[in-house]
Structures are given as structure tokens and as C-alpha cells.
């Protein structure tokens, strides 16, 4: 049975088109009709009236530590992944990477196995895994437990490249390994990002040549841009081919700096991430991160010393913040939440666009940019 999403203000090729109808069938978008087009529905077709609301590709979030009251590190299981994915789906994220922050290899192994099983069981919205550490620099540890940090070796590379289903993203500090080890990771099919790094501009440039293609939460937990020391930030902004995740919550990065980043990288290289913690979808204001108490205070997650510990941000909120803080058209903000991260993950032929043959992963937003409905593989849920 086909589903027709009618009367939509749909984002097609990064421009809104009013009066659009999108037909979903067998988990895919199989037709897109403009206002002037004539079409006939079958007798058994399902008709959904979008009431001129915004219909966009579902959001793709590459950095999701938790949600629904759970953190992936605490219990890396299929049940935890399902709870996190359901919580974020309510805010428009139809594709996520459950993210494991620095931990021991047995925990990483369990997390990879859980993601493999979740994808095999078709848990909606799970695209793969993000392993953030433990190959990081203590000088830029943030909330990570540096007692977990270790050197990237062949044993770790074999483990990091062991996911059978979906994509694997690994965040590491380039100066804490070598270009040769990064090349080994990339050859295993792993997407590698630089983050939690105190590396020099030269360190990061070397890692980009070795296969690093992204930067994790640009500006945060990385060596800053200075006049005679460009650092990791300078390397990220200077490189035209890499992607940068950025947390647009008004706490991690100043709005003026957000705008400068967009002017430098462009919306086809800058992608919204949440770095969300367990509080998403709940009224919780306290939780533990590997034994450290974190409190939500004035909208931000901080430990007792005021160190930022992930965020209390969802993707619908990130889109709205980007629209307001970065002074960008809504179309550009939606691109940063869907098409750009899909491209970064190598999923540009299946996700991130409303086009024939793409997965029927969609989000419907009201004029206030609140999520009204989502579809994953053509299956809907009301918010």
C-alpha cells in the first residue's frame, strides 16, 4: 500500500516547494509530485495531509550519547539503543549514531555487538556507531575519563573495524597516534574524525592526508585558532574537503563564531550534531557520566567544576537555534541537519534528500519548527 503525503511545503534540492505530494512505497520515496502535477491514488492508498507544514529529510545525528533517561556507556545493549533512538525520533532524528565515549576495549566490543544486533533487528533509526575515544589527548579531555585513554594499536584497530552492519565513526586525537595507524583504520572502512585534540596545525594536516575526513564538535575540546598557531580549529577551517560537526545550543559556541564557521566551511561541510545526553525526552536534571555527577543548569550540562558534559540539545532545537543564531535561511539549517551529515557518512545516495529512490526517512515540522510527525522507512509515528 502506498502512502501519499499531500499539501506539503517540501524541501526539494534545498529549496521549499509548496503544494508538494510525496509518495512512499516499500520503504522508499517512489514519486514526488509538484502542485501542477496530476496523479491518481489507488483505492487502498493512505493519504496524509501535511497541512502546508515543512516536510524535510529526516535529521541525521552523528553524535548521540544518550536519551530517554539512558546513556549508551552505562548499558551498551539493544534495549538502550532502542530507547535512545525513540527519544530522538520525537525531535526529528530518523538516523543516529549511538555514541560511546572513552571506555575500555571490552565495553567498546559490547557496544559494537549491540549496534550490530540492533541493525540486524531493524531497530528504527540506527545507522551505525560513533566511538569517541579513548584515543584522545588528556589536555583536551572534557568530561571524558582520561584513565580510560590508551594508544591506538593493531588490537584496537581490529576491534574498531569489526562492525558488520552500518557505519563506524571513530574520533581520535591525531597527535596521539600516527598517520600510518589512521590509514589502517580507514582501510578497515572506518570514518575517522579529529577531536579532543591539542594537535598542531601540522599534526592535523598530516592526519587529513592520512584519511581523517571530519572534526568532532568544532571549537570544543581542540587546540584553538591563534595568529601564529592555527591549531586544530585552523586546520579544520582551512581544509575545504572535511566535514565539521558543531553544537548549536548557545553554550558550546558563541553565535558570532558559529556564523564565521559557516562563512568559512559552508552548509555543505558544516553539520549539526547534538552531543545529547540522557536527559533528552525526559525531565531529568541530574545524571552520572562514568561516576561524575552532571547537572542541567541554565540549559547546559555541566559537572561540579562547570565543565561542559555533552548537551541537553535535540536536533529540532539545533535547527531552530541555527536559524536564529546563525541568521541562515531555514533551508540551509535543514541541509546541515540531514543532507550534510548523510554525505559525511557516505550515505548520500540513500539519505538526506527528498528524491525518488531515497529512503522514506522524513520529518514534518510545524511553523514553530516543532516535530509533528516522522517516517522511517515509510513507517510513521505521531509526536
Q: State phi, psi for 169 to the nearest 5 degrees.
A: -115, 130
Share of the chain above pLDDT 70, in %: 99
Alpha-carbon distances, residue 4 vs 44, 98, 289, 363 (angstroms): 11, 31, 44, 14
pLDDT tens-place string over residues 82-103: 999 999 999 999 999 999 999 9
Whole-number pLDDT of residue 160: 98
Alpha-carbon distances, residue 7 vs 12, 21, 22, 221 (angstroms): 14, 6, 9, 44
Whole-number pLDDT of residue 176: 98
Q: In this structure, are residues 207 and 174 in contact, taking their beta carbons and an 8 Å threshold?
A: yes
pLDDT tens-place string over residues 311-356: 999 999 999 999 999 999 999 999 999 999 999 999 999 999 999 9
CATH of domain 3-56+355-382: 2.30.40.10
- Average pLDDT of the chain is 97
Whole-number pLDDT of residue 260: 98
pLDDT average, residue stretch 177-193: 98
pLDDT of 382 > 80? The answer is no
pLDDT of 234 > 80? The answer is yes
Asked if omega into 134 is within 30° of 0 (cis), the reply is: yes
pLDDT of 60 > 90? The answer is yes
* Ranges of each domain in the chain: 3-56+355-382, 59-344
Whole-number pLDDT of residue 383: 67
Q: In what order do the strands lie in the sheet with 167-172?
A: 59-64, 93-101, 128-132, 167-172, 191-194, 214-215, 243-247, 270-273
Rg (CA), the chain: 20
* Superfamily (CATH H level) for 59-344: Metal-dependent hydrolases (3.20.20.140)
Q: State phi, psi for 115 to the nearest 5 degrees.
A: -65, -40
Q: Which of 103, 203, 249, 275 is catalytic?
A: 275
Please report which confidence band the pLDDT of residue 40 belongs to, taking 50, 70 and 90 as the band edges. Answer: confident
Residues in the chain: 383
pLDDT of 37 > 90? The answer is no
Please report which confidence band the pLDDT of residue 375 belongs to, taking 50, 70 and 90 as the band edges. Answer: very high
Catalytic residue flag (residue 74): no
Amino acid at each position: 500500500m502506498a502512502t501519499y503525503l499531500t499539501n506539503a511545503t517540501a524541501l526539494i534540492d534545498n529549496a521549499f516547494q509548496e503544494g508538494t505530494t510525496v509518495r512512499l512505497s516499500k520503504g522508499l520515496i517512489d514519486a514526488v509530485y509538484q502542485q501542477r502535477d496530476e496523479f491518481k491514488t489507488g483505492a487502498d492508498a493512505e493519504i496524509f495531509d501535511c497541512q502546508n507544514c515543512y516536510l524535510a529529510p529526516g535529521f541525521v545525528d552523528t553524535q548521540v550519547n544518550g536519551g530517554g533517561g539512558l546513556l549508551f556507556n552505562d548499558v551498551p545493549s539493544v534495549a538502550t539503543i532502542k530507547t535512545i533512538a525513540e527519544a530522538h525520533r520525537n525531535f526529528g532524528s530518523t538516523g543516529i549514531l549511538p555514541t560511546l565515549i572513552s571506555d575500555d576495549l571490552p565495553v567498546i566490543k559490547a557496544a559494537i555487538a549491540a549496534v550490530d544486533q540492533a541493525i540486524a533487528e531493524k531497530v528504527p533509526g540506527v545507522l551505525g556507531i560513533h566511538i569517541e575515544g579513548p584515543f584522545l589527548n588528556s589536555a583536551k579531555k572534557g568530561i571524558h575519563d582520561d584513565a580510560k585513554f590508551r594508544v591506538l594499536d593493531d588490537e584496537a584497530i581490529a576491534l574498531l573495524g569489526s562492525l558488520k552492519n552500518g557505519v563506524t565513526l571513530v574520533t581520535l586525537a591525531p597527535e596521539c597516534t600516527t598517520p600510518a595507524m589512521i590509514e589502517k583504520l580507514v582501510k578497515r572502512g572506518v570514518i575517522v574524525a579529529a577531536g579532543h585534540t591539542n594537535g598542531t596545525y601540522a599534526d592535523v594536516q598530516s592526519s587529513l592526508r592520512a584519511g581523517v575526513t571530519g572534526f568532532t564538535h568544532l571549537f570544543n575540546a581542540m587546540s584553538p585558532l591563534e595568529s601564529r598557531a592555527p591549531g586544530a580549529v585552523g586546520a579544520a577551517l582551512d581544509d575545504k574537503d572535511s566535514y565539521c560537526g558543531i553544537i548549536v545550543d548557545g553554550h558550546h559556541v558563541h553565535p558570532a563564531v558559529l556564523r564565521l564557521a559557516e562563512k568559512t566551511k559552508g552548509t555543505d561541510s558544516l553539520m549539526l550534531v547534538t552531543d545529547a545526553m540522557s536527559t533528552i525526552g525526559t525531565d531529568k536534571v541530574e545524571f552520572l557520566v562514568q561516576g561524575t555527577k552532571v547537572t542541567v543548569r541554565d540549559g547546559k550540562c555541566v559537572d561540579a567544576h562547570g565543565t561542559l558534559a555533552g548537551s541537553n540539545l535535540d536536533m529540532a532545537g539545533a535547527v531552530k537555534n541555527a536559524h536564529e543564531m546563525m541568521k541562515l535561511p531555514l533551508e540551509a539549517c535543514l541541509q546541515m541537519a540531514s543532507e550534510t551529515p548523510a554525505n559525511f557518512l557516505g550515505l548520500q545516495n540513500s539519505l538526506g534528500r527528498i528524491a525518488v529512490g531515497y529512503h522514506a526517512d522524513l520529518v514534518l515540522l510545524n511553523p514553530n519548527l516543532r516535530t509533528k510527525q516522522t517516517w522511517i522507512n515509510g513507517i510513521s509515528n505521531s509526536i
